[in-house]
Amino acid sequence: MEGYFKNKKVLIIGGTGTIGQSLLNTILQDGPDVVRIFSRDEHKQFEMQQQMRHQSNIRFLIGDVRDYERVRRAMQDIDYVFHVAAMKHVPSCEYNPFEAVQTNIIGTQNVIQASLDCGVKKTVFTSTDKAISPTNTYGASKLMAERLIAAAQYYGSAGKTIFAAVRFGNVMGSRGSVIPLFERQIIEKSRITITDRNMSRFMMTLKQATELTIEALMKAQGGEIFVLKMPVIRLQDLAECVVQEVAKRIGINPHSIAMDEIGLRPGEKMYEELMTQEEAAHALEFNRMFLIPNSFVGQRLYLHANPAKVKSYSSHNDSAISKTQVSEILADNNLIKTSINSKEWTSV
């Protein structure tokens, strides 16, 4: 990444979220001219302003991705755009489906149109594995947004903007992640709730998600979907590892923590897919990601890429990592926030 953002102007839409903040911290190390943080979360912006008060090249813009004119004004003179704003909680999207449509679909179209109108160099949209064979409103809205991003490359061909999407799974420790929920339940209730012990998910750390999103921006030539490689983790293994670590820190017997299965929530899936077999048939593989090219914009050359294996990349078919590996991920990335020898909850 060294030098890629130097003296450049970057806009992070949804910049007060977990991914947005991590992108900001990483990009600032590369000497950008300015990074604009665009979000509707006034309180989060205030907190970020306090944390970043010594940084003179950050601008904080209040606005909603649903408001095209506000998005367009925020994008004036911008080189690179990261679109990470979304409604992403499955139950909220199920109960408020048109709100998800307005943010995830219409909001994405606003970002596309503003990028074209303002002559942005590259715009990257962050998607989800739930967009594959979707069974819920959230996944379906993200699938539609992916299609809009891919289509923007050929219907917007008169412009100079390069569009791409990045597809990844659950980011461990992010806002809404199950890990801080488990911690809170252990400390407050001495029991945790899980949907199903056999459920599996593709998971990655915040650092991985950030680095690979930036790598996708750098590799993008137009209309691609980058699919980030992630380990499969069984929900029961993750829950047991969190119980073990939190119990050790607060000095209780881990066997005293009950585990209640509550069943799938509306729209929730037992397993997730990263890439369908049909997508894999023409996908390319890099060391840390797959690339699904845009079939409407012609052949392009990607260095160090090989054809991907033609199969369905599912958390049901791929082997889950061991509990030892899960514990190592939790420890190496400081994902357990509970204070040692204390029952005081430390906010994440």
Q: Which of 84-93, 184-193, 294-303 has the lowest mean pLDDT?
A: 294-303
Query: How many domains are there within the chain?
Result: 1
In the predicted structure, residue 347 carries a pLDDT above the cut 60 = no
Half-sphere exposure of 91 (CA within 13 A, CB side): 3
Q: Please, are residues 317 and 311 in contact by the beta-carbon 8 Å criterion?
A: yes
Domain presence at residue 178 = no
Domain presence at residue 330 = no
pLDDT confidence of residue 278? 94
In the predicted structure, residue 345 carries a pLDDT above the cut 50 = no
In the predicted structure, residue 348 carries a pLDDT above the cut 50 = no
HEC sequence for 4-51: CCCCCEEEEECCCCHHHHHHHHHHHCCCCCEEEEEECCHHHHHHHHHH
Q: Over range 297-322, report the average pLDDT.
A: 89
Q: Over range 168-192, report the average pLDDT.
A: 89
Q: What is the pLDDT of residues 266-276, one digit of tens each?
A: 888 999 999 99
| Token pair for 301 | 């050359």
In whole angstroms, give the CA distance from residue 266 to residue 11. 35
Domain presence at residue 341 = no
Domain presence at residue 348 = no
On average, the pLDDT of the chain sits at 92
Half-sphere exposure of 191 (CA within 13 A, CB side): 7
Q: Over range 122-127, report the average pLDDT.
A: 97
Residue 130 bears catalytic tag? yes
Domain housing 83: 9-169+203-229+273-314
pLDDT confidence of residue 301? 84
In the predicted structure, residue 157 carries a pLDDT above the cut 90 = no
pLDDT confidence of residue 342? 53
Half-sphere exposure of 326 (CA within 13 A, CB side): 24
pLDDT confidence of residue 155? 78
Q: Over range 79-103, report the average pLDDT.
A: 95
Q: Kindly give, in sequence order, each residue whose CB lies less than 8 Å from that of residue 61, ignoring residues fewer than 6 positions away.
A: 36, 37, 38, 39, 74
pTM over 0.85: yes
Domain presence at residue 187 = no
Domain presence at residue 258 = no
Give the DSSP letter string of 216-283.
HHHH--SSEEEEE---EEEHHHHHHHHHHHHHHHHT--GGGSEEEE--PPTT--SS-EEE-HHHHTT-
Domain presence at residue 249 = no
Looking up tokens 């980030």 gives 228
Q: Which of 9, 44, 130, 269 is catalytic?
A: 130
Tell me the C-alpha to C-alpha distance, in Å, between residue 206 and each of 139, 167, 213, 316, 328: 21, 14, 11, 23, 15
In whole angstroms, give the CA distance from residue 202 to residue 318. 10
* CATH assignment at residue 297: 3.40.50.720
Domain presence at residue 305 = yes
Q: Which of 46-55, 105-114, 330-339 has the lowest mean pLDDT?
A: 330-339
Q: What is the pLDDT of residues 5-29, one digit of tens each?
A: 999 999 999 999 999 999 999 999 9
